[in-house]
Amino acid sequence: MSHTVELDLPLHVVHQPGAGRPLVFLHGFGANLYTWHAWAPMLAAYDRYLVDLKGHGRAPAPDDGRYAPADQAALVHEMILRLDLRDVTLVGHSMGGGIALLTALRLLDGGAPHLRGLVLVASAAYPQRLPPFISIARRGVLARAGFALLPKRLLMRAVLRAIVHDPASVKDEQVEAYAAPYRDAAHRRALLATARQLIPDDLGAWTARFPEIDVPSLLLWGREDRVVPLSVGEALARALPHARLEVLDACGHMPPEEMPEASLAPVLRFLGSQDGG
């Protein structure tokens, strides 16, 4: 039975208990824990923590200007420590993958036995060309006005259709799940702040440390990803000491939603290999 975890942090965390070790799920830019709605039931053997990152989904959206990936990673790190989660596998999609990488470095710096592995899905990692919807969101007053005035379902449907391989696969339920939080002005403000801070000034210092993440890592990419290109996954596979890259044909930026069962299959194999299966 799932329940909300009460934490004095600007995160919204849903716990879906299981007998196995913990998995912590981190969504991408502008998304929320709905990203994992198809995967989570099929991972019932594990103890699942689904996170709405600060300013996303049902998480608080304070007007404090702290929405950089490192700020989000600090909150996730603190959540893991407060809940004393051991042998965690971090599962991150897109921006959430980048946050998972930064969280992993924080956990390794702490020296405690918290981190078991990484599952990075179309993960942000290195400098790249920003997709149009993020570039537009970084444009100050114009972005604020447009975001406030445009119908949220129309806007979200357009974004989703642009980033999946098959635009016809975008569902009404999916559109509403991602559009709903942005009817709130505080969440719109937070998303634009996130867009402006998405590329850290010290990105090079972080990427230089990726080879220190010496835990088993699965990298999962859609071959037709137009948001975070496959070349990023290939570079990350070379940098991480124990990484394996799996590529899904006829898939765009959202494998857990575009191809739920096919994308989860390598994840189950990876988790099973960690468990000695």
pLDDT value for 47: 97
pLDDT tens for the chain, residues 1 to 277: 899 999 999 999 999 999 999 999 999 999 999 999 999 999 999 999 999 999 999 999 999 999 999 999 999 999 999 999 999 999 999 999 999 999 999 999 988 678 999 999 999 999 988 888 788 777 776 677 878 888 999 999 999 999 999 999 999 999 999 999 999 999 999 999 999 999 988 899 999 999 999 999 999 999 999 999 999 999 999 999 999 999 999 999 999 999 999 999 999 999 998 776 5
Question: What is the model's pLDDT at position 141?
Answer: 66
Threshold 0.85, pTM exceeds: yes
Give domain status of residue 93, yes or no.
yes
Q: How high is the pLDDT of residue 131?
A: 83
Whole domain around residue 103: which residue ranges?
3-129+202-274
- Quick one: which of 219, 213, 214 has its CA closest to 266? 219
Domain total in the chain: 1
Q: What pLDDT was estimated at residue 147?
A: 84
At residue 277, the pLDDT reads 53
CATH of the domain at 100: 3.40.50.1820
Q: What is the pLDDT of residue 262?
A: 97
Task: Identify residue 199 by its one-letter amino acid code.
Answer: I
